[in-house]
Structure 1
């Protein structure tokens, strides 16, 4: 919700390196920005969460974690930079230039809910990986968590099933 009459409402879009999240970004751009061309009613904030390397390297059974940590951290940052560039390019291709892109270290569920609070977002857009109940129970669902904990409307965008 905008706090001033002249201030635009904020949409936060969560992205990762999956096709699902980029489908959600395209969807949000096509529905909330492109139709309004030069004056969209929203401000766009794209957020990419990255794991903290020490939390990943600290898994049991990974001996020599201290030696691996710099490589893992570099790899995470490289992937994050590629994802951010792809998101910026996607926005440019849709002629959306007023976009803030953030890379935040932490669990995606918490990072996205915190971004909603930080930017006073009206809408959070996330993609759905389409996991079944068992995978969702084991891996956890970012979209499900955000739907229950984000203090704004949450739009979960599903990619259409591919017909064979």
Structure 2
């Protein structure tokens, strides 16, 4: 069963009409923070006083057993250490996302940490909030890596019941 931690920071201005929802998926990768930053720059900063979307930032925290990947003797000693590490990573990811939002003067956001596979967590968050758009970063995996590791953005593009924006970080010019 997945567990969800939701935190909302409220702006002093209350809105009377429901805005469409934008969900942004984040993990500990640089590209996910780039995607969040890109979405804020293109959809929120130009409309600082009245952004067109309600923002939900979600981090999928893996199950400790999926990180360990083994079972047997000794697992009970390792599990608490892995769990604590996953919690620390989630806290760092959430704090960095909040900092990015604060730096763009965006304070009215919902931040969720949901335990589970990122693909399912993102699609379920879209459903839960009736989101109009999902923004995810692209790691730029090649065909082989994508086949082995699976692509969260590809899965979401095919399964999320909303528009999916896949943000790619431009390659640096040499």
Normalising by the residue count of structure 2, what TM-score does the alignment of the two structures yield?
A: 0.88
Partner of residue 103 from structure 2, selected from 77, 85, 93 = 93
In 2, Cα distance between the equivalents of 1:51 and 1:40? 31
Residue 48 of structure 1: how far off its partner (Å): 0.2
| Number of residue-to-residue matches in the alignment | 159
Q: Quick check: 1:123 aligned with 2:133?
A: yes
Matched, 1:45 2:56: yes
What secondary structure, in the 3-state scheme, does the structure 2 residue paired with 1:7 have? coil
**Aligned residue in 2 for 1:107:** 117
Structure 1 residue aligned with 2:74? 64
TM-score under structure 1 length normalisation? 0.94
1:140 corresponds in structure 2 to 150
The structural deviation recorded for 1:38 is 1.2
- SS of the equivalent of 1:35 reads helix
Moved over 2 A (4+): 54-60
DSSP 3-state at the match of 2:78: helix
Report the CA distance between 1:163 and its aligned residue: 1.3
> Do residues 26 (structure 1) and 37 (structure 2) align?
yes
Q: Which residue of 2 aligns with 1:13?
A: 24
Task: State the alpha-carbon separation in 2 of the partners of residues 58 and 25 from structure 1.
Answer: 30
Work out whether residues 52 and 106 of structure 1, in 8 Å CA contact, stay in contact via their aligned partners in 2.
Answer: yes
Structure 2 gap ranges (5+): 1-15
RMSD of the alignment, in Å? 1.3
CA change 1:130–1:54 in 2 (3 A) is same
Q: How far 1:65 moved relative to its partner?
A: 1.0
- Deviation for aligned residue 1:89: 0.4
Q: Alignment partner of 2:44: what SS?
A: helix
